[in-house]
Chain A
Amino acid sequence: MRVMLRILLGIILLVMVWACDNPQDNSLPGVEKALTPEYGDTFIEASIGDASTLLPVLASDSASYEITGLVYNGLMRYDKNFKPEGELAESWEISADNLQITFHLRKNVKWHDGAPFTSADVLFTYQLYIDPHTPTAYAESFKQVKSVATPDPYTVVVSYDKPYAPALMSWSTAIHPKHLLEGQDITKSPLARKPVGTGPYKFVEWSSGEKIVLEANPDYYEGMPYIKRVVYRIIPDPSTQFLELQTGSLDFMGLSPLQYDRQTDTPAFHRLYNKYRYLNFGYTYLGYNLKRPLFRDKRVRQALSFAINKQEIIDGVLLGYGAVATGPYKPDTWVYNPKVPRYDYNPEKSRQLLKEAGWSDRDGDGILDKDGKPFSFTIVTNQGNDLRAKAGEIIQRRFKDVGVDVQLRIIEWATFLKEFINPGNFDATILGWSGGPEPDQYNIWHSSKTGPRQLNFIGFKNAEVDQLLEDGRRVFGTEKRKPFYDRFQEILAEEQPYTFLFVGEALPAVSKRFRGIEPAPAGIRYNFNKWFVPKAEQKYAR
Chain B
Amino acid sequence: MLQYLTRRLLTMIPLLLGITLISFVVIHLAPGEPTDLQTQLNPQASSELQERLRTQYGLDRPLYVQYGTWLSRLVQLDFGESFATDRRPVLDKVIERLPVTILLNVLAILLILAVAIPLGIVSAVRRNSGFDRATTILVFAGFAMPSFWLALLLMDWFGVRLGWLPISGLKSLGYEYLSFFGQLTDRLSHLILPVFVASIGGLAGFSRYMRSNMLEVIRQDYILTARAKGLAEKTVIYKHALRNALLPLITILGLSVPGLIGGSVIFETIFAIPGMGKLFYDGVMMRDYPLIMGILVMGAVLTLLGNLLADISYALADPRIRHSQQGES
Which of A's residues lie within 8 Å of B, judged by CB? 42, 44, 49-50, 52-53, 58-61, 64, 132, 135-141, 143, 187-188, 192-193, 207-211, 231, 233-237, 239-240, 243-244, 246-247, 249, 413-415, 417-419, 421, 443-444, 451, 453-455, 540, 542
Taken together as a complex, chains A and B put the C-alpha atoms of A59 and B86 apart, in Å, by 8
Whether the Cβ atoms of A141 and B84 lie closer than 8 Å is: no
Is B173 interfacial (CB 8 A cutoff)? Answer: yes
Is B232 interfacial (CB 8 A cutoff)? Answer: no
Contacts of A187 in B (CB 8 A): 87
Taken together as a complex, chains A and B put the C-alpha atoms of A136 and B53 apart, in Å, by 9
Give B28-49 interface residues, CB cut-off 8 Å to A.
Answer: 30-32, 36-47, 49
Contacts of B152 in A (CB 8 A): 239-240, 243
Whether the Cβ atoms of A237 and B167 lie closer than 8 Å is: no
A170, closest chain B residue (CB): B44
A187, closest chain B residue (CB): B87
Partner pick for B272 among A231, A236, A413, CB 8 A cutoff: A236
Contact A44 to B41, CB < 8 A, known contacts A208-B96, A239-B152, A243-B156: no
A-B contact pairs, 30 of them (CB 8 A): A44-B173, A59-B85, A60-B38, A135-B38, A135-B53, A135-B85, A137-B45, A137-B49, A139-B49, A140-B46, A209-B273, A210-B274, A234-B272, A235-B272, A236-B278, A240-B155, A240-B271, A243-B152, A243-B159, A247-B163, A249-B166, A414-B36, A415-B31, A417-B32, A417-B36, A417-B41, A418-B32, A419-B31, A444-B43, A542-B177
Whether the Cβ atoms of A208 and B274 lie closer than 8 Å is: yes
Shortest CB–CB separation between residue A279 and chain B, in angstroms?
A: 20
Taken together as a complex, chains A and B put the C-alpha atoms of A154 and B148 apart, in Å, by 56
Taken together as a complex, chains A and B put the C-alpha atoms of A195 and B308 apart, in Å, by 46
Known contacts A208-B274, A209-B278, then 11 further A-B pairs from the complex at CB < 8 Å, ordered by chain A residue: A60-B37, A60-B42, A140-B43, A141-B44, A192-B87, A193-B86, A210-B272, A239-B152, A249-B166, A249-B167, A443-B43
Taken together as a complex, chains A and B put the C-alpha atoms of A415 and B45 apart, in Å, by 20
Contacts of A236 in B (CB 8 A): 268-269, 272, 278
Taken together as a complex, chains A and B put the C-alpha atoms of A44 and B173 apart, in Å, by 9
Contacts of B278 in A (CB 8 A): 209, 236
Shortest CB–CB separation between residue A423 and chain B, in angstroms?
A: 12
Instruction: Tell me the number of A-to-B contacts counted with CB atoms below 8 Å.
Output: 139
Is B170 interfacial (CB 8 A cutoff)? Answer: yes
Shortest CB–CB separation between residue B269 and chain A, in angstroms?
A: 4
Contacts of B148 in A (CB 8 A): 237
**Contact indicator per residue, chain B 43-64, by CB within 8 Å of chain A (1) or not (0):** 1111101101100100000000
Is B223 interfacial (CB 8 A cutoff)? Answer: no
Taken together as a complex, chains A and B put the C-alpha atoms of A58 and B32 apart, in Å, by 20
Whether the Cβ atoms of B32 and A237 lie closer than 8 Å is: no
Whether the Cβ atoms of B46 and A414 lie closer than 8 Å is: no
Whether the Cβ atoms of B97 and A237 lie closer than 8 Å is: no
Contacts of A454 in B (CB 8 A): 47
Taken together as a complex, chains A and B put the C-alpha atoms of A234 and B268 apart, in Å, by 11
B48, closest chain A residue (CB): A132
Shortest CB–CB separation between residue A144 and chain B, in angstroms?
A: 12
Whether the Cβ atoms of B85 and A52 lie closer than 8 Å is: yes
Taken together as a complex, chains A and B put the C-alpha atoms of A371 and B287 apart, in Å, by 46
Whether the Cβ atoms of A42 and B43 lie closer than 8 Å is: no
Whether the Cβ atoms of A233 and B169 lie closer than 8 Å is: yes
Whether the Cβ atoms of A60 and B31 lie closer than 8 Å is: no
Whether the Cβ atoms of B52 and A209 lie closer than 8 Å is: no
A60, closest chain B residue (CB): B38
Whether the Cβ atoms of B43 and A455 lie closer than 8 Å is: yes
Taken together as a complex, chains A and B put the C-alpha atoms of A187 and B38 apart, in Å, by 15
Contacts of B272 in A (CB 8 A): 210, 233-237, 240
Contact A243 to B155, CB < 8 A, known contacts A135-B52, A209-B278: yes
Whether the Cβ atoms of A414 and B31 lie closer than 8 Å is: yes
**Contact indicator per residue, chain B 273-291, by CB within 8 Å of chain A (1) or not (0):** 1110011001000010000
Give B137-181 interface residues, CB cut-off 8 Å to A.
Answer: 148, 152, 155-156, 159-160, 163, 166-171, 173-174, 177
Contact A208 to B93, CB < 8 A, known contacts A137-B42, A137-B49, A240-B272: yes
Instruction: In the A-B complex, list the 5 residue pairs whose CB atoms are closest, starting with the nearest.
Output: A209-B274, A414-B32, A235-B272, A443-B43, A137-B45
Contacts of B247 in A (CB 8 A): none
Whether the Cβ atoms of A417 and B40 lie closer than 8 Å is: yes
Taken together as a complex, chains A and B put the C-alpha atoms of A64 and B37 apart, in Å, by 14
Partner pick for A208 among B56, B85, B97, CB 8 A cutoff: B97
Contacts of A52 in B (CB 8 A): 84-86
Contacts of A188 in B (CB 8 A): 87
Is B270 interfacial (CB 8 A cutoff)? Answer: yes
Contact A235 to B168, CB < 8 A, known contacts A137-B45, A413-B32: yes
Taken together as a complex, chains A and B put the C-alpha atoms of A192 and B82 apart, in Å, by 14
Contacts of A49 in B (CB 8 A): 282
